[in-house]
Amino acid sequence: MKSPARVPVWADRVYSTLLLAYPASFREEYRGEMRAAFRSRWREEEGTIWLWISVLLDTLATAAREHFEMLARDVRYAWRSLTGRGNWSFTAAALLTLALGIGAVTAIFTVVHSVLLAPLPYREPDRVIYLTDTHAARGIDEFASSMPNFLSWREAARSFSSLVAIRGIDVNLTEGDKPERANGLGVSAEMWKTLGIAPVAGRSFVPADDVPGHAPVAMISEGLWRRRYGGETSLIGRTIDVNLVPRVVVGVIPQDVGFVDDVDVWLPLGRDPEADDSRGDRRLIVLGRLAPGVTLQQAQEEMERISVQLEREFPEANEGWRVRVVPIRDWIVDEDIGQRLRILLAAVALLLLVAATNVANLQIARAGGRVREIAVRLALGASRARLVRQMITESLVLTIAGGAAGLGLAWFAIRAAAAVPPETVPRLGSLSLNLPVLLVAVLCIGVTALLAGMLPASVAVRSGVHGALQSSASRSATGSRAPARQALVAVQLALATALVVCAALLTQSLVRLQNVPLGFADPDHLLTARITRSVATEDATKMNQAFYDSVLEGVRALPGVVSAAVTSEVPFGPMDTGQSVVPIPRPESVSEDGIQASWRLVTADYFQTLRIPLRRGRVFTPDEKPQRNLLLSEGLARRLWPGGEDPVGREVKLSNGQTHRVIGVVGDVRQVGLAEDPTPTFYWSTARFVTPTMTLVVRTATEPTGLAQSIRQVVARVDPRQPVSDFQTMRTAVRTNAAAPRLNTILLASFAGMALLLAVVGVAGVVGYAVGQRTRELAVRLALGASPGQAVRLVMRGGLLTCTIGILTGLAAALAAGRLLSGVLFGVDAYDPATFLMTAAALFAAAAWACWLPARRVTGISPSLTLRDG
């Protein structure tokens, strides 16, 4: 044997640190001897690097194996324990709870991820900017821009590496025997370079494509390419007919370009002779990419300077107009949607907390029956850490199983979300259970397992120690468990209360929204359809007016049709158009900028068809002359002449500089949305002009959707190459408009319902447990002459106190959440006292009921039997 060499302290320390890799229980058992063994080997081999390598590898391998085997043992044990006889009801309740909680969080987070978090399909999406015109004096914070201004910006601005313009172009695909209306946009040639989107096939636009006289070209979306043209690459270089004009297809662009996913045809920006020379005619959407190193703030400052300069140079068109630069995501996903999603995410997070609390509570209840088992294991030398680890593993097994079921639920929910109308929520088309979503789900599972396992484990181990110290038959150990359970129940009720208050507020808001006066009558019997005329000749307006006259004549003759009209846009339609109006002479109370109003083109029958009431004067005649006549909505008339003068016969000046005469006043109509006040509106006669896309409105005596085919035939008789699209009833349009708040409310109400159910179960469980624990005490009281009613009250008192604390906390939380909620509420205050009081009362009633259910068992206690057997 070699002479013993000294082992340096550092080597001993390093080895002690390595030992941390082992499970605590193993380490505690063998640490001393393993260190001694290590020292012996050190002395034999004098600490060579080979010794270190060998020891390190050995430690890692055996430690991993120890952990794995312990886990496998715990999982097997947990599985047996969870599926054992008598545990099924616990396991099923816990699994259902967890599946609901984790499923709801996963589903909502999937939506949040795809709408708010997933990167837009651009290169460096944060650098892509939306530029919008604003006019503070007229209260406009978002408006399109004009071509001359856009060109001036492009010339002057240094903050952008490129600026591009987009305009809506109404498109019919007219080749072949199936004419089709399509969504079209005209874009600057640098569009795809600016966004950083590459074509799927072919090439992008080049500046030469937009030069007058150049052979007309088009790009099409991937969706249209596959649907109409079979996805064949040979289409590139061939021509398709766009509005009767043959255009060469140069490339195919992905369907989802971030800000829209329903465009079919992309054209070069081209020229609009009607609008492009006028600085005041604002019809363009402008996007840009920030130049390297430029911040949003710097870009905003530069655009401010440029718009002040343009205002000085062209005061007529630009007075008061400024430019606001916005990250493109904030334009795509408006504040309202973001707010709704954040509310829902907060709600499901609360629901998951309630679920975790419920499972923790169930586990504590179950641990009550395991005190003896735990005491025995502690007595046999199992360490507490070891027991806690085992119980957390059990909770983990439970949560993973529940989480897997929850993911399944989420998958179904996401499939169902595909049925949500696409206008409701932007970017919903890209929903999927992708990696970030799964990571969040896994995180939820882990946190829930810890939450639901830690407290029961520590409580159980603590009471197990008590149990071991006292006689094993003693039950007083359970006393230490009750406060934990009561606290959990209070938390549950608080969360449920907060959710129920929010759900109640949202429900009231939805009811008010759906009962808001529309301004027109009986939307169930109004059918609308869109018609885009392929504009090909100079004399288009006259031709189109004749076309619509013939179509209306044919439609009116159809059986079941009461009346029919044509308008530039129906209420709740996708487009809005605006001009400012100034009365002549201008009253003091109206500013020089006038009143911002929407305008619509309508045929004479429009007001009769929608049943919009005439308040003063007259409506248009079929061949209205002169063309400078217009009608005002009540609200606009009131704003123009606040003194209440009769507007009929008076003149107004529009922002295009023209003077018009008022011939009548009609009722207010909600044009853009249920939640918006009726838009001030003026109407022109279609005898003046028609826009390329018009909407047909038909009032029917019968169920209207059956008429679509007959209307198509009428149109085909007038012009065989004219498509008609987007048939829907006004009722559908109204419903779609409320789809987002309705979806929000339904989801939140169901989360609140689940949370309430879980909380009630939790309360009943705790009180029931207390009854079980206090049976002897209650029996004594009954034997000593307490009435059963007194005994019931005694048991309920504790439970009700807990519930009251929980409910009050929940009300406070709901008050705190008011600010988040107030943005999406319509016609109801976020702090509405009635709602708070009613909710509190309802929850208190539910809690009292949950206390009473188990408490009434007290009356079944037989003092003599209990005291004799106990």
Nearer to another protein among residue 19 and residue 454 (C-beta)? 19
d(CA 430, CA 422): 11
**x/- site string to another protein, residues 273 to 292, per CB under 8 A?**
--------------------
Nearer to another protein among residue 18 and residue 566 (C-beta)? 18
d(CA 500, CA 811): 10
Q: Which range in 31-39, 241-249, 644-652, 859-867 contacts another protein by CB under 8 A?
A: 31-39
Question: Is residue 42 close enough to count as binding another protein by CB under 8 A?
Answer: no
Question: Is residue 305 close enough to count as binding another protein by CB under 8 A?
Answer: no
Closest contact distance (angstroms) between CB of 58 and another protein is: 3
Closest contact distance (angstroms) between CB of 19 and another protein is: 9
Cβ atoms within 10 Å of 203's Cβ, excluding its own:
15
- Of the residues 61, 584, 834, 865, which one makes contact with another protein according to CB under 8 A: 61
Q: Which range in 56-64, 86-94, 234-242, 464-472 contacts another protein by CB under 8 A?
A: 56-64
Nearer to another protein among residue 36 and residue 117 (C-beta)? 36
d(CA 397, CA 452): 11
User: How many residues form the binding site for another protein (CB under 8 A)?
Assistant: 21
Nearer to another protein among residue 36 and residue 469 (C-beta)? 36
Q: Which range in 28-36, 267-275, 381-389, 849-857 contacts another protein by CB under 8 A?
A: 28-36
Question: Is residue 233 close enough to count as binding another protein by CB under 8 A?
Answer: no
Q: Which range in 34-42, 108-116, 593-601, 736-744 contacts another protein by CB under 8 A?
A: 34-42
- Provide φ and ψ at 155, rounded to 5°: -70, -40
- Provide φ and ψ at 258, rounded to 5°: 90, -60
Which residues ranging from 562 to 621 are in contact with another protein (CB under 8 A)? none
User: DSSP assignment of 225-276, as one string?
Assistant: HHHHHTT-GGGTTSEEEETTEEEEEEEEE-S--SS-S---EEEE----TTTT
3 state DSSP class of 343: helix
Residue (of 464, 471, 481) closest to 384 by Cα position: 464
Nearer to another protein among residue 47 and residue 246 (C-beta)? 47
Q: Which range in 54-62, 616-624, 797-805, 825-833 contacts another protein by CB under 8 A?
A: 54-62
d(CA 455, CA 356): 11
Residue (of 52, 50, 39) closest to 6 by Cα position: 39
Question: Tell me, what DSSP letter sits at residue 286?
Answer: E
CB 602 within 8 A of CB 620: yes
Question: Is residue 41 close enough to count as binding another protein by CB under 8 A?
Answer: yes
The number of CA neighbours under 13 Å toward the Cβ of 285 is 17
Question: Is residue 48 close enough to count as binding another protein by CB under 8 A?
Answer: no
Q: Which range in 52-60, 226-234, 637-645, 722-730 contacts another protein by CB under 8 A?
A: 52-60
Closest contact distance (angstroms) between CB of 12 and another protein is: 13
Closest contact distance (angstroms) between CB of 457 and another protein is: 24
Closest contact distance (angstroms) between CB of 397 and another protein is: 22
Nearer to another protein among residue 30 and residue 849 (C-beta)? 30
User: DSSP assignment of 84-107, as one string?
Assistant: STT-HHHHHHHHHHHHHHHHHHHH
Where does 580-687 have alpha helices with state H?
Answer: 606-610, 634-640
List, in sequence order, every residue forming a beta bridge with 720; answer none if it has no partner.
none
Nearer to another protein among residue 66 and residue 423 (C-beta)? 66
User: DSSP assignment of 818-855, as one string?
Assistant: HHHHHTT-SSS-TT-HHHHHHHHHHHHHHHHHHHHHHH
Question: Is residue 480 close enough to count as binding another protein by CB under 8 A?
Answer: no
Closest contact distance (angstroms) between CB of 17 and another protein is: 14
Nearer to another protein among residue 5 and residue 37 (C-beta)? 37
CB 541 within 8 A of CB 679: no
- Of the residues 8, 13, 20, 37, which one makes contact with another protein according to CB under 8 A: 37
- Of the residues 48, 54, 627, 656, which one makes contact with another protein according to CB under 8 A: 54
Nearer to another protein among residue 45 and residue 277 (C-beta)? 45
Which residues ranging from 73 to 132 are in contact with another protein (CB under 8 A)? none
Q: Which range in 33-41, 147-155, 184-192, 654-662 contacts another protein by CB under 8 A?
A: 33-41
Nearer to another protein among residue 12 and residue 423 (C-beta)? 12
Closest contact distance (angstroms) between CB of 380 and another protein is: 13
Which residues ranging from 747 to 776 are in contact with another protein (CB under 8 A)? none
Closest contact distance (angstroms) between CB of 44 and another protein is: 8
Question: Is residue 59 close enough to count as binding another protein by CB under 8 A?
Answer: yes
Question: Is residue 381 close enough to count as binding another protein by CB under 8 A?
Answer: no
Per the rule left: phi > 0, alpha: psi between -120 and 50, beta: everything else, 187 is beta
Question: Is residue 36 close enough to count as binding another protein by CB under 8 A?
Answer: yes
Three-state secondary structure string covering 355-378: HHHHHHHHHHHHHHCCHHHHHHHH
Question: Tell me, what DSSP letter sits at residue 174?
Answer: -
Q: Which range in 62-70, 85-93, 109-117, 423-431 contacts another protein by CB under 8 A?
A: 62-70
Question: Is residue 649 close enough to count as binding another protein by CB under 8 A?
Answer: no
Question: Is residue 52 close enough to count as binding another protein by CB under 8 A?
Answer: no
- Of the residues 58, 274, 336, 592, which one makes contact with another protein according to CB under 8 A: 58
Q: Which range in 6-14, 27-35, 690-698, 753-761 contacts another protein by CB under 8 A?
A: 27-35
Closest contact distance (angstroms) between CB of 62 and another protein is: 4
The number of CA neighbours under 13 Å toward the Cβ of 543 is 11
Question: Is residue 824 close enough to count as binding another protein by CB under 8 A?
Answer: no
- Provide φ and ψ at 160, rounded to 5°: -120, 135
Q: Which range in 24-32, 160-168, 290-298, 489-497 contacts another protein by CB under 8 A?
A: 24-32
d(CA 621, CA 378): 95
Length of the chain counted residue by residue: 870
- Of the residues 11, 14, 29, 648, which one makes contact with another protein according to CB under 8 A: 29
The pairing of beta strand 595-602 with beta strand 681-685: parallel
C-alpha triplet 402, 403, 405: angle, nearest 5°: 65
- Provide φ and ψ at 851, rounded to 5°: -75, -40
CB 865 within 8 A of CB 776: no
Question: Is residue 67 close enough to count as binding another protein by CB under 8 A?
Answer: no
Residue 757's Cβ-count burial label (10 Å; 0-12, 13-18, 19+) is middle
Nearer to another protein among residue 26 and residue 831 (C-beta)? 26
Residue 860's Cβ-count burial label (10 Å; 0-12, 13-18, 19+) is exposed
- Of the residues 2, 9, 17, 32, which one makes contact with another protein according to CB under 8 A: 32
d(CA 368, CA 362): 10
d(CA 441, CA 826): 33
Closest contact distance (angstroms) between CB of 340 and another protein is: 55
Closest contact distance (angstroms) between CB of 37 and another protein is: 4
Task: Name the residue with tokens 């391998």.
Answer: 61
Nearer to another protein among residue 32 and residue 213 (C-beta)? 32
Question: Is residue 180 close enough to count as binding another protein by CB under 8 A?
Answer: no
Which residues are CB-neighbours of 156 under 8 A, at least 6 positions away? Answer: 306, 309
d(CA 404, CA 546): 63
Nearer to another protein among residue 32 and residue 785 (C-beta)? 32
Interface ranges with another protein (CB under 8 A): 26, 29-30, 32-38, 40-41, 54-55, 58-59, 61-63, 65-66
